[in-house]
Structures are given as C-alpha cells and as structure tokens.
Amino acid sequence: MKIGIVCYPTFGGSGVIATELGKFLAERGHQAHFITYDQPVRLNSLDPNTYYHEVSMHDYPLFHYQPYELALSSKLVQVIKKWKLDVLHVHYAIPHAYAAHMAKQILAQNGIHIPVVTTLHGTDITLVGRNPIYRDAVEFSINASDVVTSVSESLKTDTESFFNITKEIQVVPNFIDRRVYEQQRECLRRQFAPEGQRIITHISNFRPVKRIRDIIRVFAEVRKHSNARLLMVGDGPDKEPARMLAYELGVAEDVIFLGKILDIDRILRCTDVFMLPSEKESFGLAALEAMACAVPVVSSNTGGIPEVNIHNETGFVANVGDVEAMSKYVLHILNSPAEEERLRVNAKRRSLLFDIEQIAPQYEKIYEDILAS
Ligand code: GMT
C-alpha cells in the first residue's frame, strides 16, 4: 500500500508514533509518505520506501497568521495525485483531520477517492479540541473521517463525551519497538550518578499539563532519605519555574536538565524510577518507553495512564497532585530491592504487550478494510 502520513514532526508522542509506524510499514514493504512542515525528528528519509514531502508556507504581509491548513491541503492533493496514494493517515485532529477532509473533497472533484484515517492522540481532544474556538470544526472533521482511532479507552470515552461523535472509534494503543531495547548500548549511569546515586527520570515537553513542579517536590522529599539524582529530559515553558523551585527547595545540584534528546532509551536504561505526574494524559508514551527499559513508573492516575502503568504491578499511580503519595512510592521502590526487581520484571513484560509487531498490524488491517470496502 501507499500510505500518506500527516503528523507534527516534533518530539511529541503523536509525531513519534506516526513516524515509528511509518518506518515499520516501510520495512514491511509499504510506501510511507510523510507530509509535514518539517522532517519528523525520528525519520531518516533515506530509508527504503520512505518519502518526505515538505509543506512549504508562503508569507504575505496581509497574513497575521499563516494559513497552514490551506498549504497542507494543497500539498496533500499534489502528493496523493502524483504518487497515487491509497490511504491517508492523519495523526492529531487539529488541523490535520480538517485539512485531510478538504483534500479529499478537492480530489473527489477530480474523480479520485482517498480514504482518511484519523488518530486522536490526546490534547487534540482533551485540551485544545474541546475549546469552543475549535470545537465545531474538530467535531466535523472527526465525523468526516472514514475511520477514527484513539490511543486509549480513556481518550475514546473523553472524545465521545466532549463531542457529538457519529463514528465508531477504534482503540489502537500506542507502542514501542522492542528491537530498540534489545540492543546493547553503553551504560551512562556513571556519567549521571558518579557516586552511585539512584536515578529518577522524567521526559516531556514541560508544558503545565505535565505538572513538572510536582516532580521537583517529590524529588526534594525523596532526596531527604535517598542519595538520588533527577534527570529532566525535554524542554518547554515550565522548565525555568521548575529550575527555580529546585533552588528554593535546596536540591538544584542534583537536578539535571538535559534538554531534548533523540535516543531517550540511552537515558532510560540507567533510570531507576520514571515519573509522570500529569494533570491529563491520554496514554503516556514516555512511561511505556521507560517500562520497555524495565523501569518502574510512578505516575498520576489520570486519563489513559492506568491502561499502561498498572498500580502495584508495573509501578504505582496516585491522584493528580498527591506529592506525598508519589514520594512514598518512589522511596518504596528505591529502598526495597525485592520490590524494585518485581516491578522491573513486570514493567518490561507489560511493555512487550505493546510491541509494534502486535500493534502495527491493527493499523494495516484498518487500511486494508477501508480499501476493500
Ligand atoms: O504529551 C504531549 O503533550 C504531547 C502529545 C502529542 O500530541 O504528541 O502527546 C499526546 O499523544 C501521545 C501519543 O499518543 C500520548 O502518549 C500522550 O499521552 C498525549 N498527551 C496528552 O494527552 C497530554
């Protein structure tokens, strides 16, 4: 099949999932055509069967905001016509599902039918999409898609409660590629913890929804009882406030902000506990990636996280903002080797249920079914 893929090319989970899925499909002999405004961070467009089509923007003094969906729709029409794509898979509803629908309408006038699969990832529904500014257009473009998928049961429920959805939403969970975690790689533990400190890690875009100040508070509590270090991977608006809090709480020396990192498995391999205390989280891909490295997770119990991190099996979950409980759980893991080992084994085992070999065929089947219908 020839599959068009639209996503955000950045470090966010939706872009990572779209890119890894496309790469995997390309390995299986399909053509994966990425249509985005920048090269997706995890994409190597020299890989066989992989194509990157850049959406260029034209600035004009009249434009206060550049009309990205217009440029994207036009580019989709051109790519679909030129490469005779079979199906278009858009990740993140805003504005991708909307642009896909416009492209589909334009192509229909030329007698070309292109089925559209929309995958909902989270904030496109729970934060941005339900905002009255976008709501009607988001609802329309979800309903106009040929197939709609969501990355968790929780996100499916949220979508159905926030919008008037006339389509069946299929849940296809996010995934990891176990092959990445089976590679032998150098251990970075000594670099980050030269005195044998335990390592706690968090990875995100440091937006308010991630509640990274809770992590600093938890770490300050943990630090009183355990010689530990905190690795903060990523970048975003709450970085400086979190750094300031670390100074205020007297733990700044042991909090390392590493910036954006591409091969995060290198960090996760030397991690003892992964933290994800988000306010909202449709899935929590970073937690699953940690579990793939046999790292127990201490998280909030919001959204789809409990579908990934099972309480007292792969780690622990607590209410959003419950810093005391989270601190207790982190210390419990760090201070009880038998418990730590149990959770590590379970985390690794559970992550394999989400291996790309299991999940990608579900998308392949969706494409095959719409092409057959
Ligand atoms: O977490 C983010 O802020 C990024 C966002 C994205 O669109 O990349 O992540 C969402 O999609 C990921 C992949 O499906 C999920 O693993 C994240 O849980 C989800 N984020 C939220 O729901 C906040």
- How far apart (Å, rounded) are the C-alpha atoms in residues 347 and 371? 37
219 lies in the same domain as 125: no
Cα of 205 vs centre of ligand 1, distance in Å, is 10
273 lies in the same domain as 204: yes
Measured by CA distance, the residue closest to atom 21 of ligand 1 is 281
Predicted local distance difference test score (pLDDT) of residue 27: 96
35 lies in the same domain as 108: yes
231 lies in the same domain as 275: yes
Predicted local distance difference test score (pLDDT) of residue 289: 97
Q: What is the pLDDT of residues 168-197, one digit of tens each?
A: 999 999 999 999 999 888 888 999 999 999
145 lies in the same domain as 189: no
Ligand 1 pocket: which of 19, 121, 124 to mutate (most atoms <8 Å of CB)? 121
Contacts of 168 (CB under 8 A, 6+ apart): 148
Q: Is 370 left (phi over 0), alpha (psi -120 to 50) or beta?
A: alpha
145 lies in the same domain as 210: no
Predicted local distance difference test score (pLDDT) of residue 127: 85
Predicted local distance difference test score (pLDDT) of residue 123: 87
CATH (domain of 163): 3.40.50.2000
Closest atom, ligand 1, to C-alpha of 210: 23
- How far apart (Å, rounded) are the C-alpha atoms in residues 174 and 356? 8
Cα of 173 vs centre of ligand 1, distance in Å, is 12
Predicted local distance difference test score (pLDDT) of residue 313: 98
146 lies in the same domain as 221: no
Ligand 1 pocket: which of 20, 92, 123 to mutate (most atoms <8 Å of CB)? 123
Cα of 60 vs centre of ligand 1, distance in Å, is 32
Cα of 20 vs centre of ligand 1, distance in Å, is 15
CA distances from 259 to 190, 234, 262, 265, 342 (A): 19, 5, 10, 15, 31
| 8 A C-beta contact, residue 284 and residue 315 | no
Predicted local distance difference test score (pLDDT) of residue 59: 87
| 8 A C-beta contact, residue 49 and residue 206 | no
Q: Is the dihedral of CA 122, 26, 141, 145 positive or negative?
A: negative
20 lies in the same domain as 153: yes
Residue 284 sits in which domain range?
179-354
Predicted local distance difference test score (pLDDT) of residue 4: 98
pTM: 0.95
Residue holding tokens 């790469």? 23
103 lies in the same domain as 193: no
Residue holding tokens 């979800």? 142
Predicted local distance difference test score (pLDDT) of residue 140: 96
183 lies in the same domain as 284: yes
How many structural domains comprise the chain?
A: 2
244 lies in the same domain as 132: no
Q: Which residues of the chain have pLDDT under 70?
A: none
Q: What is the pLDDT of residues 101-159, one digit of tens each?
A: 999 999 999 999 999 999 999 988 888 888 899 999 999 999 999 999 999 999 999 99
Measured by CA distance, the residue closest to atom 9 of ligand 1 is 13
Residue 331 is encoded by which pair of tokens?
A: 């210390």
171 lies in the same domain as 221: no
Predicted local distance difference test score (pLDDT) of residue 184: 83
Contacts of 63 (CB under 8 A, 6+ apart): none
Closest atom, ligand 1, to C-alpha of 205: 3
